[in-house]
Every structure is written in structure tokens, then in C-alpha cells.
Structure 1
Amino acid sequence: MNELQLLKETRKIDSPVPAASLDRGLAQLMSTIEKDTRRPSKTKRWSRPRRSLIAVAAAAALVVGPMAVGIILPDSPQGATAEAAEILDEAALATIETADPIVGAGQYLMIDTNAVYGSSIVHDGTQHTWLATQDSQLYIPTDRSEEWVWVREPEVPVTFFSDESREAAEEISKSTEPFGQTVRAPGGGFYGSPQQFLGKPLDDAIQDSPRDPQELLDLIYATTEGEGWSPEQQALTTIADFLRTGAVPANLRSALYGAAALIDGVEVVDESATIDGRSGTAIGIETPDHAWRQDIIIDVETGLMIGERVTSLKTTPQYPAGTVISWTTSETSVVDFAP
């Protein structure tokens, strides 16, 4: 496990950790594919931890561009496998027909996220690891400059890999107060800073991101250069991060699926993947050493992403082979009030 993965999926728990430290037609695609697949120079950005579950503003209030009409891929070995590209094409078309939520005056866009991540502690030179829930609900007002509310539920250990890890988790539970809180901030600037994506605050990123899949993928490569296990894996992870916010408008969701179809190594890994009781098609990519795999699980009929997960493909000191070491799901709705 490299340093990035350790940062993303596990953390040392000697005491409760504050939140501040946590956290893929289209009609013109053929002409775009004729361009050189290049990766622009690196753009400096602040990169949030993947643990952050802050969502973006109401999709209905965003300024969006022309609708995409499908993914057209050439007969080429580049990009996702034919099966994965077909699934992503279906999802891109379906998402255009899925209505984005409309948030009326005085209402809130509510993103209800269920998540499980790795937690660990080093005791007497031995690392003990388990999986714990990190559920939350985010309330975004119609006027995004007004106060957002983020309800962060206490972590609950749910999966253990040894008796020792169970004992370590239980000991922490006894010695510390459960960490859960409700956070409020104008414009979603929780803990002093709004969430960033592709080098911009998320509202701006949603409005400004290209709706052309190749241009969008080029931008993702540029702003994530040097991150992750490989550019391809990090690109799909970035797409998963964006989709799981639950508030990406239809034409940008379609473009994100199109971008995923252009990533080398992306393939269908499970046609009936179940996560948090919901089933869809899992599209994933393995790390270059085949030790880990990043998946996105898509409801092809609606074009919505059900969730995302990271799976350990090899046995490590922390996890047995085949362990889903982290996953998230989210559902979006419109509500009349916030806590």
C-alpha cells in the first residue's frame, strides 16, 4: 500500500480526528478523438482528502451547456473495453432523460451519504485495522451563498479482520467520546474552506467543466498529474468523486461517463454489483501492480451512479484479498427544512 492509499483509506486513531484533517455523444466526439491524446501541463490545486463527503449545490440552479447525445467510440484499442464502453454509452444516454432535482424557494437539496472507510491504530508497533461507518447528510439551500448544514454521524466500527483489531476498536470506543457533529457555514465553506474540484470551488467547476468527454478527460489528467497509482486510475477516481456528490447535472454526468469510456484499462467487473442494498453494473480499473481496484457502480437505466468502492485484490498486512476497503453511496432529494 503506497502513501496515498494510506492517507485515503486509513488513519491513525490515537484520539478523535477533527474533520478539518479528513476528507465519464457525444455527437461531436469523433472529431475530438482525431486530436492527439495529450495531457496538458500540471495545474496546481489544493487536493481534498477523499473522505470529505461535502456535496455541491443544487443542479437545477446551475448554468449548463448543450445536452450530450451518446458516446461514439472508434475501432481502437485505446480507452475502455468494448463492454465497458457500451455500458457507459447506455448510462450517458439514460442520464439525459433523468430529471435533475428542482429546489424551490426556502427548500434544500439534501444529499444523504452512507460510507464505510478503513480506520486503524498502531499499538506496540502493530497496526490494527477495521472498517467503520462515516455517514452524513448535507443540506444545500436554494441560495448557495446562504448557510449550508452538514450533519456528520459518529463512526461505528462494522468489520474486523482479527480479534486484536476488534479489541483495539472497542478500546478506542471506551476511551473516547463518539465524534459526531452538525456543522454550519455560509456557501458550504466548512472548516474555513469550500470544497475544491479540478482546481476550483465545486460550484464553479460544475459550471465551467467541459461537456466534451475528451476535453474533460484532458482537464482531469492535467489537474491530477502525479496523484494516485497511475494517471488512469486517478482519473476514474476523480470521476467517481465528482459523481458521488449527488448533484452533478445531467449533461455533465453524461460527459463524465464519456470521459471514463476513454480511459485505458477501464472494464466491467460485475454486472450485478450490490452496495448498501442497491444493485447496478460495476465499472472499474486496477492499479498497475494489480493490488487494488477502483469501481463505480452505475444504474444503467437511470444513468445515476449508485456508489463507488475500492477493493483490495491482494492480501496485505491490513486486509485479506477481495476486501472492499471503502465504499460510499448517496441519494439526493429535496426537503423543506434543515436541522
Structure 2
Amino acid sequence: MDAFERVREVNTGVSLTDERIAGARVRLLEGIDAGVVTARKRVSRRPMFLIAGAVAGVAAATATVVVVGQLTAPAPQAEAAPTFTPTPQPTPTAGEPFERATVGSVLESAAGATVSGGVPEAAPGQYLRVEHQTTQLVLYQPTGQYTQHNATRATATAAWVAPGTYVTYIPGDRSQEWVTVFEPKTSISQTFGPEGEALAAEWLGNALKERIVDRHVGGVDDGSDPQLGSDAYYAQIPRDPRQLLEWYRSSLAGDVLDHDSQVASMIIHELERNAAPSDLRAALLLALREMPNGRILGVDGSLVTLGFSFTWTSDQFDSWTETITVDTASGFVSASSRTLGSGGSLVPESLPNSSVVTSISVVDDAP
């Protein structure tokens, strides 16, 4: 099974059994479905495609403390600190020319702000509440090699966009109980194609109708050892940006068509999880500088959206684009998106396959 097949299997669960829901609810936190898991040497799971639409969904909006940036475009113990210190660089504000900044200077600014404590952290007895507002593009074709709801952009005859929400409560003491809340999906925000509206309604009718609250002590229950999110898990990850890249690359196993796209996806997903210590978040931001074809897509004050594009040789899809919106004043990653493939006239090229807008706050209680 090649890497594309693993990606394409993600959205197959429109008719969910109790057993499938139980297995998927934690994997949804990481954007991983059962068909997406690839063997890894040191990281037990890696995200390939956001599937919050299979179980998570939209709920009533809840207040947050941190202002959310909008998406303007779509092993062994490592050394304790990076081998070089990020130096904040001037970042253009709205209306200033993009050429006054580079992808590298943006990421260095964000890394420096992260090290200096720009993102709030929960104290023991408190929780960091991380809310993810997601969108999922469902691509439909009557028949296909995979499933009806996993068409490509070029082959889809109908499509729709489904918003969703899931919230993670990360305890200030990582050894305590973690809580993740998945809200049921309740709406469709866009449809495409003559049959799009009817097919979307049928798909939504098969979606999860109940709220899921998952509780697990000591981190995310994803089968990793050490457990994902725990202090021991993050202690094994290098803080030197170049060593960090090699650590991620060496974790990939099997038939991987393009290592850079996979590594970029894992880094961005770790940043939006908001569970990593500040020194590791800084290293993750600096490691992104090494990703190819990086460019600045938009600037809104201290919020900068970056894009990273990759060319694939798969006969199913030809491209993979990741975007990330980062606050250079705090290092907080407020949004990201992923676009797979090109072609077709049904869905606008600017519409990603998945996107996440993240907000955080420190609270005293969890559900």
C-alpha cells in the first residue's frame, strides 16, 4: 500500500459502528484514521489528513481568551537546547511589502518569542484548553478505487465542506488526566455540483450524533511508548533544529513518496497541538525553515501565513501544500491547512482539503 492509499482511506467512515467510533475518537485528535498508520521507529503515529469530520463536528461557539488568527490563505535523550539561538527579525506589518521579510526571518521571530514565553502555559491544577475549529472537504464520486467519499479533485462529481470542533484539556501536570471533547457534526457550510446538497445531507445524516468525552491519564492514548504528550515523550525529541529534522525523517518507514511533505506535516501538527514545551516549539519552528518552496502568503500585523508546496510523483495526486499561520509576537500557531492534488473545475483551487483554526486559554476545570 503506497502513501497515497493511506491518505485516501482516511474519510471512509461515514457509517460508523460503535467499535469504529471507540477506536477513532482518540485518533481524531491526531488526525489519524486506522488506515493511515505508518510504521515509525520512534514516533508511533503521524498525521496524514485531518478526519475530524468523521466523528467531530460543529457545536455552539465557546469563548476563548487568546485571539484567533484567521487563515489568510488557505529515542535517546537529545541535547537540551538548540545549537544556535533564534534572533528575532523585523516582520512586516499589514500594508508593508512582503520582501521586507523572509520565511526564515518570520520563523526566527516566532521561535524567539516562544522561548521568551509568548504562549501561556497551565500551572499544576490548571488546564491548557486547546480548541480546534476544523473544516473538512469531502470529495464524492459514484464509484472509484477507494470509496465514494474519497474522490480526487479531478474526479469528484460533487463535494461539500463540513465544519467541526474538538477541544483538548492539557493538565499543567502532564501526569494527570487529559480530556478531549469531540462535538457532533451538525452542518454543511458549502456544497458543489448539482447533487452536492442532497449527497451532503445524506452524509451528514450518517455522521456521529453524540458528544464524545475521552479521558486518559498521562497523555494521549495512542499506543505510543512513552505516551504522546507526556514529559518522557518530549524528552526524547531533539531540540537542535537540524537533529530534529533527522529525527523525524528517520521515523518514517515503508513506502514514502516524499519525506519533506511528511516531515512538514508532522511539525505543523505538533505545533498546533500546543502540548510541546517552549524550547521544543522553538526548535520545531526553526526546523520548518529547511522545508523547500516556502513562501509568505499573507501578513496581518504580527500574524504571518506561510505556505510550503511539494510535488508528488503519485499517479493519484500530483501536489501537497501545507500552510501555517504563526504569530511572530508570541510563537503561537493559530491556523493551518492542507491541500492535496490539483485539477478539475468543481472545487476552487483555493479551497483546502482540511483546515484548522486554533485558540487557547488557561482554565481551572475540565469537563
TM range (shorter): 0.7 to 0.9
Equivalent-residue separation in structure 1 for 2:254 and 2:213 (angstroms): 34
Matched, 1:246 2:274: yes
Q: 1:170 Cα shift?
A: 1.0
TM-score (norm 1): 0.73
Q: 1:273 Cα shift?
A: 7.6
Task: Name the structure 2 match of 1:5.
Answer: 7
2:323–2:336 Cα contact (<8 Å) kept? yes
Higher alpha-carbon deviation: 136-145 or 301-310: 136-145
Instruction: Count residues with an aligned counterpart.
Output: 294
Task: Name the structure 2 match of 1:284.
Answer: 308
Check 1:298–1:150 CA distance in 2 against 1; reply closer, same or farther (3 A cut).
same
Q: 1:306 Cα shift?
A: 1.6
What amino acid does structure 1 have at the position aligned with 2:312?
Answer: P
Equivalent-residue separation in structure 2 for 1:119 and 1:19 (angstroms): 22
Match of 1:295 among 308, 323, 327: 323
What CA deviation, in whole Å up to 9, does each residue of 1:289-332 have, x standing for no partner? 55331122212222221221012562259844232110112222
Equivalent-residue separation in structure 2 for 1:135 and 1:120 (angstroms): 20
Task: Name the structure 2 match of 1:214.
Answer: 242
Q: SS of 2:107's equivalent?
A: helix
Task: Name the structure 2 match of 1:36.
Answer: none
CA RMSD of the aligned region, Å? 3.5
What CA deviation, in whole Å up to 9, does each residue of 1:102-150 have, x standing for no partner? 4234322211111112346665775554221231111123333332221
Check 1:13–1:96 CA distance in 2 against 1; reply closer, same or farther (3 A cut).
same
Q: SS of 1:3's equivalent?
A: helix
What amino acid does structure 1 have at the position aligned with 2:229?
Answer: L
Task: Name the structure 2 match of 1:151.
Answer: 181
Equivalent-residue separation in structure 2 for 1:337 and 1:136 (angstroms): 17
**Unaligned 5+ residue runs, structure 2?**
29-39, 53-77, 89-100, 150-157
Q: SS of 1:293's equivalent?
A: strand
Equivalent-residue separation in structure 2 for 1:177 and 1:216 (angstroms): 38
Task: Name the structure 2 match of 1:14.
Answer: 15
Equivalent-residue separation in structure 2 for 1:179 and 1:223 (angstroms): 36
Check 1:44–1:258 CA distance in 2 against 1; reply closer, same or farther (3 A cut).
closer
Matched, 1:256 2:256: no
Matches within 5 A, 1:126-205: 127=149, 128-155=158-185, 156-174=187-205, 178-189=209-220, 193-194=221-222, 196=224, 201-203=228-230, 204-205=232-233
Q: SS of 2:6's equivalent?
A: helix
Check 1:262–1:168 CA distance in 2 against 1; reply closer, same or farther (3 A cut).
same
Task: Name the structure 2 match of 1:104.
Answer: 123
1:225–1:231 Cα contact (<8 Å) kept? no
Higher strand share: 1
Task: Name the structure 2 match of 1:43.
Answer: 41
TM-score (norm 2): 0.68
What CA deviation, in whole Å up to 9, does each residue of 1:207-245 have, x standing for no partner? 221111110000010002446641111111010111011
Task: Name the structure 1 match of 2:86.
Answer: 70
Indicate the percent of aligned positions where both proteins have the same amino acid: 23
What CA deviation, in whole Å up to 9, does each residue of 1:165-223 have, x standing for no partner? 2211212444666243222222245xxx33649x8633233222111111000001000
What CA deviation, in whole Å up to 9, does each residue of 1:67-123 have, x standing for no partner? 762279xxxxxxxxx932222222222222234434234322211111112346665
What amino acid does structure 2 have at the position aligned with 1:11?
Answer: T
What amino acid does structure 2 have at the position aligned with 1:47?
Answer: R
